[in-house]
């Protein structure tokens, strides 16, 4: 590959980036795309006023959102979105630091050394048509002392990346605990699921559960809800929704011949009946069956929460492990390159580097990973004491019994409109 081809590729990629940047800047301001670019605001009904009316400014690309995206602090990001957003920002910052340091070392130090090498025969006067191999380590003469600069760069880069990984792991761990302390109590934190309850003769399942917890856990037991299987109910509800959609489709048909079928086997035998009347009666029967099934199931059932998609930054260990894997892979490649360049001493001295990197990873895993798997007992005790001293905790306890709702027990509501604006990606929180 020649330099001119590389510059052409860079120009094409920059042009595509500018195009995508412009499209995003325009589409994010369109009311029809608010459900995609601002689902939380749609769920909170904060963008409802922007849906109506035409505004010419929506068609003009702007770059002000880039500056505004970097202005808020981490605490503001956390309060407006979630802790995951803060962790994503830290990933971007970590990546910029790593690639920034690697770019400075590569362009300022390694690139001139590679270009001044004499391993490859090339005409230095025609730079535009020069091969990119002249800028790589392959242009450094075998056994040259300049290869030790690459050796030092491998060690320095590995040390800097490990330091940044340790700093980010420690920083995100402390932020995760601080976020837990500042978070409000949630219903799922006070809920456990008990299965395989032995029912004694003369008492129901609900009475057995209440007797057990009031006797052995009187200070922590608040209430209980019996969870039963609702597979049949969910199947009936799904069939009713499918039948309703089919009725809506048939009502929009303009061909009158398609509005009549035979009520016999597979629609081939029997008397001809009107399709709308036929499916309408089926829908009424299904709704009656759904109501009867709902009456046969206990009212307070499974806990269902509006999705928040907040993991509490649990995906950071995956980023850490991926970076460690990349470092070890780089070390293995460096061992092979120094061996091919007839610098066996440097190749041997690189061998301890992946071992040290894996030891560093093991140290971070033992020190920080348990915080991402579960909160320490000390934090849980401190959080419990804070909740006990919170004057609003009594109101929260009173709402626990009504915070749970099974969608299968809710009445069937057929949508009056198929407008996508009425179906945000994220529902409002309980």
CA dist., res. 322 & res. 13, Å (int): 26
Residue 407 lies in a domain: no
Residue 31 lies in a domain: yes
CA dist., res. 39 & res. 35, Å (int): 5
Q: Are residues 290 and 327 in the same domain?
A: no
pLDDT at 417: 45
Q: Are residues 290 and 318 in the same domain?
A: no
CA dist., res. 74 & res. 49, Å (int): 28
Residues 6+ apart with CB under 8 A from 64: none
Residues 6+ apart with CB under 8 A from 378: none
Residues 6+ apart with CB under 8 A from 425: 35, 36, 39, 42, 43
Q: Are residues 40 and 140 in the same domain?
A: yes
Q: Which range has the worst mean pLDDT, 79-83, 283-287, 413-417?
A: 413-417
Q: Which range has the worst mean pLDDT, 37-41, 397-401, 424-428?
A: 424-428
Domain residue limits at 13: 3-184+314-401
Position 227 pLDDT exceeds 90 = no
In 129-170 the beta strands, taken as DSSP E runs, fall at none
Residue 412 lies in a domain: no
Q: Are residues 70 and 99 in the same domain?
A: yes
Q: Are residues 42 and 162 in the same domain?
A: yes
Q: What is the pLDDT of residues 388-418, one digit of tens each?
A: 888 888 888 777 766 666 555 555 555 544 4
Neighbours of 58 (CB within 10 A): 14
Does the pTM of the predicted model rise above 0.85? Answer: no
CA dist., res. 397 & res. 403, Å (int): 10
Q: What CA dihedral angle connects 233, 238, 239 and 242, to 10 degrees? A: 160
In 98-157 the beta strands, taken as DSSP E runs, fall at none
Q: What is the pLDDT of residues 302-359, one digit of tens each?
A: 333 334 557 888 899 999 999 999 999 999 999 999 999 889 999 999 999 999 999 9
Position 88 pLDDT exceeds 80 = yes
Q: Are residues 110 and 176 in the same domain?
A: yes
Task: Write the CA distances from 218 to 211, 212, 214, integer angstroms.
Answer: 10, 9, 5
Q: Are residues 28 and 151 in the same domain?
A: yes
Q: Are residues 12 and 44 in the same domain?
A: yes
Domain count, the chain: 2
Q: What is the pLDDT of residues 115-141, one digit of tens each?
A: 887 777 655 555 555 677 777 888 888
């Amino acid at each position: 590959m020649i330099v001119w081809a590389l510059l052409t590729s860079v120009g094409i990629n920059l042009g595509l980036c500018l195009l995508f940047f412009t499209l995003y800047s325009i589409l994010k301001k369109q009311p029809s795309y608010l459900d995609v670019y601002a689902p939380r605001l749609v769920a909170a009904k904060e963008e409802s006023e922007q849906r109506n009316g035409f505004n010419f400014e929506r068609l003009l690309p702007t770059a002000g959102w880039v500056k505004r995206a970097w202005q808020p602090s981490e605490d503001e990001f956390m309060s407006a979105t979630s802790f995951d957003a803060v962790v994503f920002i830290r990933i971007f910052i970590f990546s910029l630091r790593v690639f920034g340091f690697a770019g400075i070392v590569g362009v300022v130090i390694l690139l001139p050394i590679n270009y001044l090498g004499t391993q490859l025969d090339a005409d230095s006067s025609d730079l535009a048509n020069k091969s990119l191999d002249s800028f790589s380590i392959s242009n450094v003469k075998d056994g040259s002392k300049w290869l030790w600069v690459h050796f030092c760069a491998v060690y320095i880069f590995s040390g800097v990346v490990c330091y940044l990984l340790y700093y980010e792991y420690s920083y995100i761990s402390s932020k995760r605990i601080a976020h837990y302390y500042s978070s409000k109590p949630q219903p799922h934190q006070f809920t456990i699921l008990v299965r395989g309850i032995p029912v004694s003769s003369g008492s129901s399942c609900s009475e057995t559960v209440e007797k057990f917890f009031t006797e052995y856990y009187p200070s922590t037991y608040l209430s209980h809800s019996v969870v039963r299987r609702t597979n049949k109910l969910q199947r009936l509800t799904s069939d009713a929704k499918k039948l309703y959609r089919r009725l809506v489709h048939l009502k929009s048909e303009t061909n009158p011949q398609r509005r009549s079928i035979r009520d016999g086997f597979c629609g081939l035998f029997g008397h001809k009946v009107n399709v709308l009347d036929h499916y309408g009666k089926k829908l009424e029967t299904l709704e009656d069956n759904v109501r009867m099934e709902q009456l046969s199931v206990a009212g307070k059932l499974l806990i269902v929460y509006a999705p928040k998609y907040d993991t509490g930054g649990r995906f950071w260990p995956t980023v850490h492990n991926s970076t460690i894997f990349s470092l070890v892979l780089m070390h293995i490649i460096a061992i092979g390159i120094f061996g091919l360049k007839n610098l066996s001493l440097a190749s041997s001295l690189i061998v301890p580097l992946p071992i040290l990197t894996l030891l560093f990873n093991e140290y971070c895993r033992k020190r920080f990973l348990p915080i991402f798997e579960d909160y320490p007992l000390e934090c849980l005790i401190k959080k419990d004491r804070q909740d006990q001293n919170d004057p609003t905790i009594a109101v929260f306890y009173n709402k626990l019994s009504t915070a749970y709702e099974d969608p299968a027990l809710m009445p069937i509501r057929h949508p009056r409109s198929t407008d996508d604006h009425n179906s945000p990606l994220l529902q409002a929180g309980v």
